[in-house]
Amino acid sequence: MELKAPSLRQLKSIVKKFSSSNMIVVGDTMIDEYFWGDVQRISPEAPVPVVAVESVTRRLGGAANVVQNLVRLGVNTSLLSLCGNDENGRLLLEMLSEAKCDTSGVHQSPNRPTSIKTRIIARQQQVVRADREKIGDLDDDENAALIAAFNREIVQADGVIISDYGKGVISPEFITPIIEKCNADGKFIAIDPKDRHMHLYKGASIITPNLKEAHVLLGRPYHHCSDREVEQLGWQIIDDYNLQYLLITLSERGMALFEKENRRFRHLPTVAQKVFDVTGAGDTVISVFSAAITAGSSPFEAAYLANHAAGITVAQLGTASVTPEELLAACG
C-alpha cells in the first residue's frame, strides 16, 4: 500500500516549531578536511596519482556535523564533547562558534589531539583519506567534566542526540547515566550507533542504524535483506533494545520506520535523484528526525522530513546540511 505523504501545510507547521526546540548533542567531534585538485600524472616515486591541490576546505565532522545540521534547521543546540588542546582544537571551537553552537560543554584535553579526517579529491573522486586521531576511552576527569556539563544542560533540553563515532567520548560511564536521566525525566533520546557500543543503547527513544549496523545490533552476520527480512530484523531490535522507534537507513532503498506503539511498520522509498557522496547523511537523518519529534511531529512525519533532507545532502560532495527552506522545497 502506498504511503500518503503528509500535507505541506502540516510540514510547514512542524518546521516552524524547530526554533522552539532545545537539543543537546553528545559525541565525538572532528574536522573534515578536503584537498581539492586534479590529476595530470603518475608519481615517478611510486605507481600513485599526483594530485595538484587547488584549494582546501574544512568542515565540521562527527557530532559537530550533527550540531551544524540542527543549527541550520533553527534548533537551539549545545554540544558535549572533547577536542585536543591544540591548534586544530581551537579551529574546531571557532568553527562551532561561527555555526552558533554553545561550546561551553566542549572539553579541551591535553591528552589527545583533535581528530581530523583528510580527504584528497581529484575530479570529484576521492583518491585517499588520512585520519589523524587518538582512539581510546576518556580518563576519569574528562568523563566527570562531561557528565557535569550534561547535568547542567539537560534541565532546559527537549532531547538528546548521541552521535557515537567510536573515538572515546561515548563509554559505559558516560552513556548509561545519560539514558537513565533522559528516561527518568521523559526526555527524547536518539542514538546514531557504532559497533563497539551496541550493548549500551537499550532504553533509547530511537536508534538510527544502517542495514549493516542493524545486523550487528542483533549479533548477526550482514547480508542483503528482502523487505520481509528487514521488517523481521527491525521488530527484533525494537524488542531487544526496548525502543519507542527504530529507523533503519537502507541506502538506495530508502528507510524503514518501526513504531513500538500499535506495532506499525512503514517503508519510505528513497527520494534522492542523484548520489555523489553519502558522507554525513546519517547525521542529517538523525538531526532532522529529532528536531521534528521534539517539535511535536508524528514519527512518520519526522521520518518523511529526514528522508527528504538526506536526499538533498547525498547530492553534494562532503558533509552537508539543509535549511528549513530547502527542506520544505524538497517536500513540495
Check 158, 164, 277, 283 and give the catalytic one.
283
How far is residue 27's CA from residue 210's CA, in Å, rounded to a whole number? 18
Show the DSSP H helices in the chain as ranges: 8-16, 63-73, 87-98, 140-153, 172-185, 211-217, 227-241, 281-294, 299-313, 324-331
Phi, then psi, of 258 in degrees rounded to 5: -120, 135
The candidate with the shortest Cα–Cα distance to 203, out of 257, 150, 244, is 244
How far is residue 190's CA from residue 226's CA, in Å, rounded to a whole number? 26
How far is residue 160's CA from residue 64's CA, in Å, rounded to a whole number? 14
Residue where the block lists cell 547542567:
152
- Give the angle subtended at the CA of 224 by the CAs of 221 and 227, to the nearest 5°: 120
**H or E element: which one contains 190?**
strand 188-192
131 is a catalytic site residue: no
Strand partners, 23: 77, 159
Residue type, 22: N
CB 243 within 8 A of CB 237: yes
- Give the angle subtended at the CA of 175 by the CAs of 174 and 181, to the nearest 5°: 100
How far is residue 269's CA from residue 96's CA, in Å, rounded to a whole number? 34
The candidate with the shortest Cα–Cα distance to 203, out of 242, 260, 235, 175, is 242
Strand partners, 131: 117
User: Could you list the active site residues?
Assistant: 283
